[in-house]
């Protein structure tokens, strides 16, 4: 299992990123290749490679990821018009970095899935 990702370096401030929120459990930063006017990644501060590696002991952490996304959506001014939260899992699910991350997308009509 991998022990280091680019996200690990961002969490530790060893790599530059536009961090919009950080606490003891999660770090949130702007995506470097945004798919929407607001595209922020919320990552756990511990390495969990994929959603397949999530256990019941991670429930509070996952909840924090979602409540952090809601707070940021309000702070970014996109909560009222709407936004999308997305987890990708593994290659066929579109996951590119083996460190789970929640995409917060908004600032434009996103359409149905």
Tell me which residues are annotated as active site.
101
The one-character DSSP state at 92 is: G
Distance (Å, whole) CA 36 – CA 47: 26
CA dihedral sign of residues 88, 90, 92, 97: positive
């Amino acid at each position: 299992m991998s022990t280091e990702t680019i996200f690990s370096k961002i969490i530790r401030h060893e790599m530059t990123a536009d961090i919009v929120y950080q606490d003891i459990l999660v770090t949130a930063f702007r995506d470097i290749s945004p798919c929407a006017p607001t595209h922020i990644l919320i990552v756990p501060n511990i390495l969990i490679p994929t959603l397949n590696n999530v256990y019941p002991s991670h429930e509070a952490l996952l909840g924090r990821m979602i409540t952090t996304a809601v707070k940021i959506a309000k702070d970014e001014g996109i909560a009222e018009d709407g936004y999308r939260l997305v987890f990708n899992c593994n290659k066929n699910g579109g996951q590119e970095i083996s460190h789970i991350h929640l995409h917060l997308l908004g600032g434009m009509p996103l359409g149905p899935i």
